[in-house]
Structure 1
Amino acid sequence: MTLLADLLSTVFERRYRQPARYLRNDRPLEELAGDLVGSAGETSGLALAQDILSGFEDLNDEDKLVFFRTVAGRLNIDPEKVRTALDAYEKNPCKASYRDFMTASEPRRQELFRRLNRVPGATGTLVNMRADLLRLGDKDPELDALDLDLRHLFASWFNRGFLVLRPINWESPAHILEKIIAYEAVHAIHSWDDLRRRLEPADRRCFAFFHPSMPDEPLIFVEVALTKGIANSIQSLLAEDREAHPAEDADTAVFYSISNCQAGLANISFGNSLIKQVASDLAAELGGLKTFVTLSPIPGLTRWLEREGVEWHAAAPEEMKATAAHYLLNAKSRGTRPFDPVARFHLGNGAIIHAVHPDADTSDKGRAQSGGTMVNYLYDLAKVAQNHEKFATTQEVMAADAVKSLARSAALQQTSKGNADA
């Protein structure tokens, strides 16, 4: 029966793919998009959707922009219809008037993307389409609105309930391992041997989120080192000649690299769920684990120092350590939000700043972005919800007392230097 079902499915797929080829008539994709939103038939709609998706992938950047702008304009909301529907609902709030308001207030382009997503395998294509939109949009207000539509849909389609957490190890399929190498965004993987050192030893772990509609594409992954004590250097953590230890001996899980894989899923948050799920699973697997921390870069540090006119290149390690603590606690962007993007991410997830380490990343990239300084963010599983709520409400940066003391000493040094210069 399974074989028969597979054969029938194959025949059906071939039959409904034929109209897609037959319907290709070189009409602009914008016209096909209008037809798709207005079509009532499922089979004809699938053929139109396939034509649009295939045609879009063949467009150059200029024509992609034309498509985006046309869809954004022609399939936008009608403000007058929205006002009329809202007035009707306000006068008579009932199921019918609310349905009319929902229909009027939702742009028709959202329905376009839903119908495009009915094509098997279309979800990944739409993610790539949004990557093109972000790359080409250049803060165009009309295209910003189109992007918000896609973000709204993706937030539902990539809801945590649909994501699958999979361990990545040296036995994982080669095409997945190749993508881990390609997508690593924090500490580059230079070779297959380098990857093997991160995956094969008993005291190393890697986990990734996948979506059922994109089973061969990791969405985000985290690399973990199981250690005794808290790591304070990425070079020692990834050293070629380091000695591996039994996982059962570890008391600390160090999340040392978190990489988002899909540009088209920017601002769709997975990291929060990923870290907490992995920490919870590791705690269940290894009873000796008591501490869950990151060893994180500080990518905005030198940029902020240069913006503030601070010369950092000749700073001593302990001076950089104090300066980094001051930056993490006090440097702000857009009001009260921390300036550093990695700090915003982990603090927003309910972590606290636990410790700052100078000369922790001696790579060229590490020197350039933070003078080699790195930071541990501590995830106390019993307090992350409380810390998250406090940060979301007040934007207060939670930090260990030692980090606060470092930050105060840096602030005093800057004040003294300012007074001396005056």
Structure 2
Amino acid sequence: MAAERGDGGGAVTLLADMLSTLLQRTYRAGGQGRADTRPMPELATDLIGATGEISGLTLARTMLDTYADMDDEAKLDFFRYLAEEMTISPPEVRAALDAYEAAQTRATYRAFMTAAEPPRQELFRRLNQVPGATSALVAMRADLLRLGRKDDALLALDLDFRHLFASWFNRGFLVLRPISWESPAHILEKIIAYEAVHAIDSWDDLRRRLEPPDRRCFAFFHPAMPDEPLIFVQVALTRGVPGSVQGLLSEERTQIAGEDANTAVFYSITNCQSGLAGISFGNSLIKQVAADLSLEFPGLKTFVTLSPIPGLLRWLQSEAHSYDPNDDEAMRALAARYLIGARQPEGLPRDPVARFHLGNGAQVHQIHARADISDKGLRQSAGVMVNYLYDINKVSQNQERFAATREIAASSEVRSLSAAAEKALA
């Protein structure tokens, strides 16, 4: 441990953390941290060049507080400054690469690494030294994605956020926590607020999803954001594979003991932080939850989702395919064709949920009509839903084939449905 190092490094780190926390409390109390009203570019330049720990922490907190008070126009100006002024210098990169190519030494490699990294990455790292900064930087990236989605220079800036976040939110740093009816109220409030698949209408609705013995919920947290779930999954323990979310969530359903279940159904997976878009947690979450549930309930043999098909009707309409939402078998066949045959130019499935689960090594298992008759379900897919099967013995194989050749793993039933739709559409 750092505190046991003979060189005193642990003590220095502990002192820095204590001073940082003290500074944060001072600013919250209206102390001198907000007295520095210089423009953000000037603060950023000084922070990059700061050599003192306390001055660096002061500048970082001032910048984060100033940014939090900005309107969208000021935020865009700041992002453009980062994109245009704190980027790499192509001549310096070329010169450093030439020097490294001529003599591959530690010094030339370090010089190339320095030249190839834009100064804004170091700025983000220095901002991240103060308490609460990680959450603030995630929110900053959410602003960037919202405001800069049509600006190539700002999209390039986003690559730096993604590069850093991929390291900061590495699976090794994430903590899996069960969420239950006994969890703190502020966490439960966020589960209600963030739920994006099947809306939670009330505290009673949430209680029905968390308290029964055949219900589970798990979330990933990060130590720097201990009160903010990054992603969570809701699980139903059942006998057999379900074909209706209404049945799973019904107040009148018959509860079973977890020990009596043979199937774990991942019926809702929600990413909570828009500022972490593109940072993948779902694959690790599903596999970890499946492993934990298997230990708790050895009788579980099947792990499936009950997933929406959000792009189905949009695809049918864009392809000018006629359909009858009341013809269950036809809708199942069209859904199968969409999931297997509708592709993006690079060969990936057109449906975003399919891309996620197939990329994780799942199989398109069963398709159900009238499975989600909520307004949202009818609007997106005429109520059709799909089970993706996570076969522990085949997940790695499926994942590798999908990554290498875009081959989609699907049951024989689903393939037959897809073939029938293809023939009907010909």
Q: Quote the offset at 1:299 in angstroms.
A: 0.3
Q: Which of 252, 259, 264 is the matching residue for 1:248?
A: 259
Q: Which of 122, 129, 146 is the matching residue for 2:157?
A: 146
Q: Which of 216, 239, 244 is the matching residue for 2:250?
A: 239
Counterpart in the other structure of 1:131: 142
What is the number of equivalent residue pairs in this alignment? 410
Instruction: Out of 322-331 and 308-317, give the one that drifted further.
Output: 308-317
Q: Do 1:313 and 1:371's aligned partners in 2 also have CA atoms closer than 8 Å?
A: no
Counterpart in the other structure of 1:407: 418
Q: Do 2:325 and 2:382's aligned partners in 1 also have CA atoms closer than 8 Å?
A: no
Secondary structure in 2 aligned to 1:27? Answer: coil
Q: Do 2:76 and 2:147's aligned partners in 1 also have CA atoms closer than 8 Å?
A: yes
Task: Name the aligned partner's letter for residue 22 of structure 2.
Answer: R
> Which residues of 2 match residues 1-400 of structure 1 at below 5 A?
13-14=21-22, 21=32, 24-400=35-411
Question: Alpha carbons of 1:22 and 1:293: their partners in 2 closer, same or farther (altered >3 Å)?
Answer: closer
Q: Do 1:17 and 1:47's aligned partners in 2 also have CA atoms closer than 8 Å?
A: no
In structure 2, distance between residues paired with 1:309 and 1:214:
46
In structure 2, distance between residues paired with 1:121 and 1:214:
8
Q: Do 1:363 and 1:372's aligned partners in 2 also have CA atoms closer than 8 Å?
A: yes
Task: Name the aligned partner's letter for residue 133 of structure 2.
Answer: A
Counterpart in the other structure of 2:7: none
In structure 1, distance between residues paired with 2:179 and 2:353:
24
Q: Do 1:209 and 1:220's aligned partners in 2 also have CA atoms closer than 8 Å?
A: yes
Q: Quote the offset at 1:120 in angstroms.
A: 1.2
In structure 1, distance between residues paired with 2:281 and 2:272:
11
Q: Quote the offset at 1:281 in angstroms.
A: 0.6
Secondary structure in 2 aligned to 1:232? Answer: coil
Question: Alpha carbons of 1:183 and 1:8: their partners in 2 closer, same or farther (altered >3 Å)?
Answer: closer
Secondary structure in 2 aligned to 1:206? Answer: strand
In structure 1, distance between residues paired with 2:148 and 2:167:
23
Task: Percent identity, please.
Answer: 63
The runs of at least 4 aligned residues of structure 1 exceeding 6 Å deviation read: 6-12
In structure 1, distance between residues paired with 2:260 and 2:119:
57
In structure 2, distance between residues paired with 1:332 and 1:145:
26
Q: Quote the offset at 1:63 in angstroms.
A: 0.3
Give the alignment's Cα RMSD to 1 decimal: 1.7
Secondary structure in 1 aligned to 2:270? Answer: strand
Secondary structure in 2 aligned to 1:253? Answer: strand
Q: Quote the offset at 1:74 in angstroms.
A: 1.2
Question: Alpha carbons of 1:355 and 1:106: their partners in 2 closer, same or farther (altered >3 Å)?
Answer: same
Q: Do 1:321 and 1:358's aligned partners in 2 also have CA atoms closer than 8 Å?
A: yes
| TM-score normalised to structure 1 length | 0.94
Secondary structure in 1 aligned to 2:307? Answer: coil
For residues 289-321 of structure 1, give each alpha carbon's deviation from its aligned partner in whole angstroms, at most 9, with x where no partner exists: 000000000001001111001233545111000
| TM-score normalised to structure 2 length | 0.93
Question: Alpha carbons of 1:265 and 1:310: their partners in 2 closer, same or farther (altered >3 Å)?
Answer: same
Question: Alpha carbons of 1:12 and 1:74: their partners in 2 closer, same or farther (altered >3 Å)?
Answer: closer
In structure 1, distance between residues paired with 2:404 and 2:326:
36
Task: Name the aligned partner's letter for residue 369 of structure 1.
Answer: Q
Q: Quote the offset at 1:16 in angstroms.
A: 7.7
Secondary structure in 2 aligned to 1:209? Answer: strand
Counterpart in the other structure of 2:8: none
Q: Quote the offset at 1:39 in angstroms.
A: 1.2
Question: Alpha carbons of 1:8 and 1:165: their partners in 2 closer, same or farther (altered >3 Å)?
Answer: closer
Instruction: Out of 304-313 and 106-115, give the one that drifted further.
Output: 304-313
For residues 393-421 of structure 1, give each alpha carbon's deviation from its aligned partner in whole angstroms, at most 9, with x where no partner exists: 00011100110011000111111xxxxxx
In structure 2, distance between residues paired with 1:11 and 1:33:
21
For residues 11-67 of structure 1, give each alpha carbon's deviation from its aligned partner in whole angstroms, at most 9, with x where no partner exists: 874368659725733211121011111111111011000000000000000000001
